[in-house]
A and B are shown apart, each in its own frame.
Chain A
Amino acid sequence: MIGKKIKKGDVGRFLSSLAGEYTVIGPVKHGSVFMFAEIDDEHPPVLDYPRTVLPVKKYLHPPRETMFEFRKGEFREMLPESRLAFFGLHICDINAIVRLDMAMASDPYYSARRGGMLIMGVECKPSEECFCKSMNADRLPHGVCDLFFREEGDGYIVYAGTEKGRKLLGSPLFHATDLAVTGISAECEEKKPLDYEKVWRSFARNHTNPLWDEMARLCLGCTNCTTVCPLCYCYDVADTSEVVPENSRRERFWDSCTLLNFATVAGGHKFRPNIKDRFRNIYTHKFKSFVDEFGLPACVGCGRCIVYCPAGINMRANLEKLEVG
């Protein structure tokens, strides 16, 4: 892959040139944290950031969205019209999009947003909570990232991973260089990466493992981890009515398997009555069922769940225990 060079000062101009066609989203500083938000001159992207609180999921599969409006006796699908350009995504977050695609490709709302989307990645600065290597998510996936930015002196070397990206590199803001790369990966510091297949195998014997009691003991069932996770996509559906059913909407919104009523059926029977059952379910979906379904874990080791767990539960440490136990 041969890259082109762009001066740091020109990145803003390049992004502005996209603003006609796209809503441009990037990491911005918000108090003490970083979040993805629309970027413009007043809200410039910050490229040296550990991780955002919420992942790209908040745009692709938003916290709340209208699926149908009920009008004139019909459910009318409300497909979103969006052209989103994401700038400054880390490799783990790009891998998370690839995995979310597997689960949600046939979902019309997700695909409508995903279809016209532009992905621009940036090199990350791994922190101690990162474990992308363990989750096979430390390399830039092939043919997904339109442009990838790597810091180089007073500018960035930019590589195109798609046809769309190659066209964008035609802009006069990019200059020729002869720097080439093969394979872009994160500098994750994990010394002894986990083997997610081993973790997967352990689920067969691990349902009654006393480890679950130990690990779930501190869990508050607060839903923080599932909210910030780029690969937790459970949702609930409800109709809302403005007095008359002729003006009703069918909406869906994020849900979480850590909540008691997530698996409660009519009549009140609860299939996962204890916090331990629900805590285990997060892991089972991520490291057993998702792997069964799609061949990879529903985790990219971004570390968000570790950073934002009020109980200090460390998913990576738990996986390490499960791997052997």
Chain B
Amino acid sequence: MNIYQPQKRTIMKVTELNYDTKVFRIKVSRGFTHQPGQFVELSVPGIGEAPISICSSPEEKGYIDLCIRRVGSVTNAVHKMTAGDAIYIRGPYGVGFPLDSIKGKDIVYLLGGLGLPPVRGHINYVLAHKEDFGRVTILYGARTPADLLFKHEFDDWKKRANFLVTVDAAKNPDGTPCHWDGCVGFGVALIDKLTYPIKDAVGIIVGPPVMYKFAIKRFKEAGMEDRQIYVSLERLMKCGVGKCQHCQINHKYCCLDGPVFNYAEVKELPEAI
């Protein structure tokens, strides 16, 4: 089997989340398994290929959900597609977030913007098995209220976890002011609102490249050790299988050794964080 061969699949459903982001449900065989945090390479013939995280829980069988923001050629082409259209994928690839090894522990998610989708499958798995885990906190920040993703799941997360949301500014994406009752400020600052100690918790950080340094610093100030912290790193990826060298972070491949890394593993790795 050609390691680059895209497989034909069908879009089952498209859900619009906001002005630039949609969730595509793609039919896969019931035998398809993945770890939350892993990604697929998604192809649109004649346009190209792009790595996209699987955002559904591994327990949802027969399909995977891909949450896609429209930013360039492939993602714009996908956005024009509807249920019944053919789409091409290969994967899943990479290393996802730990599940079994963190059973019994408290978990704090710190997510910025498009950092939520890669973790959503993990969150939904953990919340479906609450008895196996400790306290769960989800801290989520987006640029503006309109940028918030999966709003329809917020009520459920609020019921089952300690869920806090913030936006950088109470504005519309075009910069004009908008109505917003909630918290304003950077996502990282939500750590201050926690009412219990998180020094023994597992910390999961996913967000834009600039967020990691600050987020890690705050987790460490809260008493976490390096090895309690997990990050998912984004790099330009072409092959997804350790050949093209685009995703190299010094001597690690983001596509094979990541995208999810334990912070202790990449702490000394130049260019990683």
Contact = CB atoms under 8 A, between A and B. Distances in A.
B182 interface: no
Given A75-B88, A264-B236, A267-B71, A234 B244 contact: yes
B245 A257 contact: yes
A182 interface: no
A32 B129 CA distance: 71
B82 to A, nearest CB: 16
A271 B271 CA distance: 7
Interface stretch (B43-51, B156-164, B217-225): B43-51
Interface stretch (A82-90, A216-224, A282-290): A282-290
B4 interface: yes
Output the residue of B3, B46, B209 with the most chain A CB within 10 A.
B46
B236 A263 contact: yes
Contacts of A250: 43, 49
Interface residues of B, number: 37
A8 interface: no
Interface stretch (B31-39, B116-124, B246-254): B246-254
A20 interface: no
Contacts, number: 106
A272 interface: yes
Given A239-B48, A241-B47, A281 B248 contact: yes
A77 interface: yes
A70 B6 CA distance: 11
Contacts of A263: 235-236, 246
A101 interface: no
B245 A241 contact: no
Contact of B46 (A103, A239, A271, A281): A239
B243 A265 contact: no
B176 interface: no
Contact of B208 (A208, A269, A271, A281): A269
A73 interface: yes
Interface of B: 2-6, 8, 43-49, 71-72, 86, 88, 208-210, 234-236, 238-239, 241, 243-246, 248-252, 270-271
13 contacts: A73-B86, A75-B6, A75-B88, A77-B2, A106-B3, A108-B2, A235-B243, A236-B246, A245-B45, A263-B235, A269-B208, A288-B250, A289-B252
